[in-house]
A and B are shown apart, each in its own frame.
Chain A
């Protein structure tokens, strides 16, 4: 994308020999004589003064980068191959949940519920045995490029630690031959993995799975679903 703006400040005025000097002036690239002449011209030419004012903040922003940055500009790593498949899967899952009438809240709202639970140091819903509303669940993100499993996870601070509720959907039609056994683990903020248990997903239909850990909510860095051999499938980072 390369834009050549036109308009009143377009420096193409053939009558003004200084019309294209503003850029070089701001970059400090004019010779001492040219700079003096341009500065004097600025006092009497509104168009050039406007060009200088227009470009000055941009030159200021350039101070945030270095020559090495410019040289390495195109050396950015490519996107993850799992990005698009994972996006499509999450969208399909969210669409399906909307159809089944379960409100999908954005992750910020979910984070707010979790934060509230932490701040209060209590269970957000004190009638303890009642099933939690599913609105605080967040979709887990696919780690593998394609997975027949999608899941929402809700983390709730408890007096004894953290309750983890999973709402799993197994896309059986797309992957008829794939394994249906999964295991759950949490990774704490120090990077230590804590296995929590395993379960089997029914080939069609949803599975709700509730587990828990003695780790306090604020010590949990991620919740992860893996295959029995330890290959990560889905993850929720906190």
Chain B
């Protein structure tokens, strides 16, 4: 291989090894489990990074945030162009249908961003959110379930939310 080809391979290999798992989970989720389409989107995302390697060197924002943002835009563009295809036009009032679809897209993207961000949280942080948010436990109940002092449950809940907020922003979202 030439030096250029070797550098290409190395950049793609590094991007793949560091980010493919997280990006794949995010995109498969966005596409409701469609692995074929996810493969197209993830490949296109990595190739865009490879074509513009300077975006990965920018000190502002992480490479992962850039990749997630690009993948999200590719998926949303596909949704929009699918919507424009004549065979999908329905009798719905267009403005209303567009608004619904945009709201749907936002909801789907937010949901997958939160799931991807939650994947980066420690077990302790996930557990305290599970008890205090999803199961509706009080601090006292969670303290008993987890065998922790109440003060620890409170501070863990606080730090879990902060870690989640930072993780969502690292993935290109707004929290």
Contacts and interface: CB of A to CB of B under 8 A. Distances in A.
Interface of A: 1-5, 11, 20-24, 26-31, 34, 51, 54-55, 57-59, 61-62, 64-67, 69-70, 73-74, 76-80, 82-84, 86-88, 90-92, 94-95, 106-108, 111, 115, 141, 189, 218, 237
Which has the most chain B C-beta neighbours within 10 Å: A24, A31, A90? A24
Given A5-B166, A30-B138, A55-B162, A64 B129 contact: no
Q: Chain A interface secondary structure, helix, strand, loop or mixed?
A: helix
B87 A218 contact: yes
Interface string B109-121: 0110111001111
B129 A62 contact: yes
Given A2-B121, A86-B43, A29 B157 contact: yes
Contacts of A189: 87
B114 A62 contact: yes
A3 B47 contact: no
A4 B175 CA distance: 16
B8 A91 contact: yes
A87 B114 CA distance: 28
B146 interface: no
Nearest to A65: B114
Contact of B162 (A5, A65, A66, A106): A5
B154 A58 contact: no
A106 B110 CA distance: 27
